[in-house]
Amino acid sequence: MTIDTCNFQGKKVIVRVDFNVPLDENGKITDDTRIRGALPTLQKVLADGGSLIIMSHMGKPKGKVNPKFSLGQIVDAVSEKLGVKVAFAPDCAKAADQAAALKDGEVLLLENLRFYPEEEGKPVGIDKEDPAYADAKKAMKESQKDFAKTLASYADIYVNDAFGTAHRKHASTAVIADYFDADHKMLGYLMQKEVTAVDNVLNNIKRPFTAIMGGSKVSTKIGIIENLMDKVDNLILCGGMTYTFAKARGGKIGISICEDDKLDLALEIVEKAKAKGVNLVLGTDCVAADKFANDANTQIVPATDIPDGWEGLDAGPATRELFTKAIEGSKTILWNGPAGVFEFDNFTGGSRAIAEAIAKATAEGAFSLIGGGDSVACINKFGMADQVSYISTGGGALLEAIEGKVLPGIAAIKG
Ligand code: AMP
């Protein structure tokens, strides 16, 4: 069953969304992207004449009730966005009566699922090293099933629209699906869009395919780099991780960020790219700074010859041109991780050059996927979000999907 073909009329529908929105100190939402992202699914259920039980996590309350992470704070905002008064269930595991009383067109938002340790299924208050941990974990897995069964009992149909947590086997993202048959569980619209976008860069590739991987560390991106190596034509590596490559190749990198225990890994990546015929693009120059600050003094130097006491904080002009050339004419583009410390306005140039090249290629018909935390913040900072094909809402989930891992939240529904 798919959300498009399902008629929700007269049905109670429990939807897992990602309403883990950032709040300011007064509990006001500072970015409502995630709520807006879930609206098409929620609106489809209401438009058909169904009723909604919305569930989500917020923050990391670690299995305990914590008012700081209460979803009660966003009830009014959700009501306003949906145009329907939303009721609130202050205990997500004791909402059976409220759910049963829901009439068609009505909406109930459950309190933060993670106030219960059963949501994540991790035993609390016991150390992993403790000999009793294995038994505690087993017991927790059982109570996780009960918790999921309770949530499932509220509704006729389960919809998962929370891509951001799809890489987690939690009660509400995966275990709950066991209590619905194939005709009564499905992915929401946001999930479908994410799955299609990932499919476009993993399976449905139009060539040339250029992946741009940046960010601070090679260690956190290695799984993706390895999976992409079999698929891409051009692999641009940028940002802090490239100083590990520069040092591995015998370069002088000053005090640039570097993972000294990953020098061999960097060389292996270079070799692998060669063996697989991938055009690996590494920067030739950088903007070096005399301190890690926006107002640092700067100079353009070769990426492999950075003076002592200086650190590379952005891609240099020659590198920007190299990146732009590689992106130009691409038909599939994936960007994860900035090319410099874009949080400092004076070190955004490399990332901006990448964003502009991606926007141009997209305008010429390429499919471009931007995802994984910082590159999204980056493209938003440049006000260019509407010039790329798709911006993923998933951080860890997107990265794991691109690594080629099966996401439990999707597998639970699709099998
Ligand atoms: P990641 O979380 O690994 O994707 O890395 C993103 C972070 O990398 C951002 O906060 C950037 O500021 C940082 N970053 C990018 N380039 C550099 C660099 N040359 N030196 C230090 N940090 C960097």
Span 33-57, pLDDT tens digits: 899 999 999 999 999 999 999 999 9
At residue 373, does pLDDT exceed 80?
no
pLDDT digits (tens, 9 = 90+) for 231-256: 999 999 999 999 999 999 999 999 99
Distances (CA, A) of 103 to 11, 16, 35, 50, 271: 9, 19, 23, 8, 62
**Residue 101 pLDDT level (bands cut at 50, 70, 90):** very high
Q: Over 90: is that where the pLDDT of 372 sits?
A: no
Q: Can you tell me the mean pLDDT for 17-31?
A: 92
SS (H, E, C) 269-284: HHHHHHHHCCEEEECC
Interval between CA 193 and ligand 1 midpoint (Å): 28
User: What pLDDT score was predicted for residue 39?
Assistant: 98
Measured at the CA of 66, the angle between CA 62 and CA 72, to 5 degrees, comes to 120
For residues 410 and 195, what is the distance between their CA atoms, to the nearest angstrom? Answer: 9
pLDDT in tens, 222-232: 999 999 999 99
Is the confidence at residue 82, as pLDDT, over 80?
Answer: yes
In this model, does residue 203 exceed pLDDT 80?
yes
Helix (H) or strand (E) holding 322: helix 317-327
Q: What percent of the chain has pLDDT over 70?
A: 100
Note the pLDDT tens digit of each residue in 256-280: 999 999 999 999 999 999 999 999 9
Mean pLDDT for the chain? 96
Asked: is 195-402 a CATH 3.40.50.1260 domain? The reply is: yes
Dist. CA 35–CA 21, nearest whole Å: 8
Q: Where in the chain is the domain with CATH 3.40.50.1260?
A: 12-187, 195-402
Catalytic residue among 149, 217, 360, 381: 217
Indicate whether 171 pLDDT > 80: yes
Instruction: Name all contacts of 304-307 with Cβ < 8 Å and 24+ positions apart.
Output: 304/246, 304/249, 304/250, 304/251, 304/252, 304/253, 305/251, 305/252, 306/251, 306/252, 306/253, 306/254, 306/256, 307/252, 307/254
Cα–Cα distance for residue pair 107/52, rounded to 1 Å = 5
Atom of ligand 1 nearest to the CA of 338: 15
Q: What is the DSSP pairing of strand 12-16 with strand 305-306?
A: unpaired
The verdict on the CB of residue 80 being under 6 Å from ligand 1 is no
Query: Is the pLDDT score of 63 beyond 90?
Result: yes
Question: Which member of 59, 72, 373, 395 is catalytic?
Answer: 373
Catalytic-residue membership of 373: yes
Residue with CA nearest ligand 1 atom 5: 215
Instruction: With cut-offs at 50, 70 and 90, classify the pLDDT of residue 374.
Output: confident
Helix/strand/coil for 86: strand
Asked whether residue 339 carries a pLDDT value surpassing 80, the answer given is: yes
Distance 383 CA to ligand 1 centre (A): 20
The closest of 189, 197, 155 to 2, measured between CA atoms, is 189
Distance of alpha carbon 175 from alpha carbon 50, whole angstroms: 23
Tell me which architecture the domain covering 12-187 has in CATH.
3-Layer(aba) Sandwich (3.40)
DSSP state of 368: E
Stretch 175-199: mean pLDDT, rounded? 97
Which ligand 1 atom is the nearest neighbour of the CA of 312? 19
Ligand 1 touching residue 43 (CB < 6 A): no
| 142: Cβ contacts below 8 Å, ≥ 6 apart | none
- Annotated catalytic residue, options 72, 223, 395, 396: 396
Mapped onto helix, strand or coil, the DSSP state of residue 233 is coil
Query: What's the pLDDT at 174?
Result: 98
Q: Alpha-carbon distance 144 to 140, whole Å?
A: 6
What tens digit of pLDDT does each residue of 113-139 get? 999 999 999 998 899 999 999 999 999
pLDDT for the residue numbered 415: 81
Q: Tell how far the Cα of 219 is from the centroid of ligand 1, in angstroms.
A: 13
Give the global pTM.
0.90
